[in-house]
Chains A and B, each alone.
Chain A
Amino acid sequence: MINPKAIIAARVAKELSDGDLVNLGIGLPTLVANYIPETMNVFLQSENGLIGLGPTPTDAQIDKNLTNAGAQYVTLKDGGMFFDSATSFGIIRGGHVDVTVLGALEVDQEGSLASWIIPGKLVPGMGGAMDLVVGAKKVIVATTHTNKGKPKIKKRCELPLTAYQEVDMIVTEMAVIEVRSDGLHLMERHPDVSIETIIEQTDAALIIGDVKIMEV
């Protein structure tokens, strides 16, 4: 597979609808913005206090007081606006965000997510992730299927949780998986990846029905 991240970002973008308010997490999820059709009106929110996130600025357009939550320079689209952090998280926790897309260290078959700490090793902090996962209407985890061959989709998260049973969908370079009350449903597979390979690279149990081919 040439570029797993591009495959994931392009597939996640297909989940967005006209008029959606969407929060894209730092890293891979940020790439989703590149695959939203220009004809579609999707409003991107950034938890540091804006709605209407536009493309990366040219050097001449850079404004050091206009950044996303990852401290990268951004632009503001027509109709965009700014607000303080309490308003921003009121929007997030209050259920006004339609879709949040974020990465994972681990995600499990109950839809619980671990993404903010590896005790004793890496402690970046949760930032806004806990609020986003609890508050957004739809939670999409966008992640590579494994961490260098080690499954990230587990029966049960071992790392401290970001949130309990809040994830709705998992998109990887191999598969699209829906989290339902009876477990993880394999909905789509990458054309070059067999169902057997996906099962082998997933620690969690997968429910296999009519598996479609991912459009890539």
Chain B
Amino acid sequence: MDKFIDKSTFLAALHDGQSIMVGGFMAVGTPEMFIDWIVESNVKDLTIICNDAGFEHRGVGKLIANNQVKKLIASHIGLNPDAGKKMSQGALTIELVPQGTLAEQIRAHGAGLGGILTPTGIKTIVEENKQKIIVNDQAYLLEVALGADLALIEARTSDAYGNLVYDKTARNFNPIMATAAKHVFAYVHHVVKQLDPEIVVTPHIFIDGIVQKEANHD
């Protein structure tokens, strides 16, 4: 049994109006080849969930530059002026979320929880239109779970089952996003016959398709 997929299988999974989680932090740990394939597919009106807006020519910034994104849910857009410009022109909706809240909303979805209670954002504009819950005299915001149609992640090493190990700070959002989407595709740099079961970070049951770097994809 293996989960290797080719480019046509990947492209067939893309649709207008989809929500897509993309791993990476300022494009470190972002599966750039998947991004390039989405650009090539030209699907539209996407909701992208990513830590940040990447850069104009790197990471999810390439999808914003190609006008494929309707809404971006992220914690930071500061290194991509194009995203800020499109937001002020009304061409792109951006929902800014505290980074820890974003991570926990995604983790909650993957773990079957309805949401989480966090003190982050209390008495700031982040609390607008959200339910406040008092636990042991402390105020928390109810932040609801966040899932997606598709999650695109990058890992250093996989076995044929799709057990994954990451690389340094390229890990970031990848392991939690792997748990929180209907379909999860992993771009991996190396494939080995066997991984030490003690060091697996993402169990293979979360992974639906693997694309290996430098395999022949056409």
Give the nearest-CB partner of A50 in chain B. B169
Q: Which chain B residues lie closer than 8 Å to A71 at the CB level? A: 25-28, 79
- Count contacts on A: residues with CB < 8 A to the other chain: 39
B147 at the interface (CB under 8 A from A): no
CA distance A39 to B170 in the complex (A): 30
Interface pair A67/B167, CB less than 8 Å apart:
no
B114 at the interface (CB under 8 A from A): no
CA distance A163 to B75 in the complex (A): 15
Which stretch in B11-19, B40-48, B96-104, B207-215 binds the other chain?
B96-104
CA distance A194 to B41 in the complex (A): 64
| Contacting residues of chain A (85-104) with chain B, CB-CB under 8 angstroms | 85-86, 88-89, 92-93
Give the nearest-CB partner of B175 in chain A. A84
> Of A48, A92, A134, A162, which one neighbours B169 at CB under 8 angstroms?
A48
* Given A63-B168, A88-B103, residue A93 in contact with residue B76 (CB < 8 A): no
Interface pair B120/A82, CB less than 8 Å apart:
no
A124 CB to closest chain B CB, in angstroms? Answer: 3
Q: Which chain A residues lie closer than 8 Å to B94 at the CB level? A: 123
CA distance A161 to B128 in the complex (A): 13
Interface pair B176/A84, CB less than 8 Å apart:
yes
Interface pair A83/B75, CB less than 8 Å apart:
no
CA distance A163 to B122 in the complex (A): 7
Interface pair A69/B25, CB less than 8 Å apart:
yes
CA distance A86 to B118 in the complex (A): 13
Interface pair A92/B100, CB less than 8 Å apart:
yes
B107 at the interface (CB under 8 A from A): yes
Interface pair B103/A82, CB less than 8 Å apart:
no
B91 at the interface (CB under 8 A from A): no
B166 at the interface (CB under 8 A from A): yes
A172 at the interface (CB under 8 A from B): no
Q: Which chain B residues lie closer than 8 Å to A46 at the CB level? A: 169
Contact indicator per residue, chain A 40-77, by CB within 8 Å of chain B (1) or not (0): 00000011111000000000000111110101000010
Give the nearest-CB partner of B170 in chain A. A65
Q: Which chain A residues lie closer than 8 Å to B168 at the CB level? A: 50, 63, 65-66, 76, 82
CA distance A135 to B77 in the complex (A): 23
Contact indicator per residue, chain B 89-119, by CB within 8 Å of chain A (1) or not (0): 0000010101111111011000000000011
> Of B78, B125, B167, B176, which one neighbours A86 at CB under 8 angstroms?
B176
> Of A49, A129, A130, A135, which one neighbours B25 at CB under 8 angstroms?
A49
* Given A67-B28, A71-B26, A89-B100, residue A82 in contact with residue B121 (CB < 8 A): no
CA distance A81 to B12 in the complex (A): 38
A102 CB to closest chain B CB, in angstroms? Answer: 13
A125 at the interface (CB under 8 A from B): yes
4 closest residue pairs by CB, A with B? A89-B100, A124-B78, A131-B100, A164-B123
Kindly list 16 other residue pairs between chains A and B, CB separation below 8 angstroms, not including A126-B99, A134-B122, A160-B125.
A48-B25, A49-B169, A49-B172, A50-B169, A66-B169, A84-B171, A84-B172, A85-B51, A85-B102, A89-B100, A123-B77, A125-B77, A126-B98, A131-B101, A161-B123, A162-B124
Enumerate chain B interface residues (CB-CB to A < 8 A).
25-29, 51-52, 74-79, 84, 87-88, 94, 96, 98-104, 106-107, 118-126, 166-176, 201
Q: 12 A-B residue contacts at CB 8 Å?
A: A48-B25, A67-B25, A67-B28, A84-B171, A85-B176, A86-B107, A86-B176, A120-B88, A130-B98, A130-B101, A135-B120, A164-B122
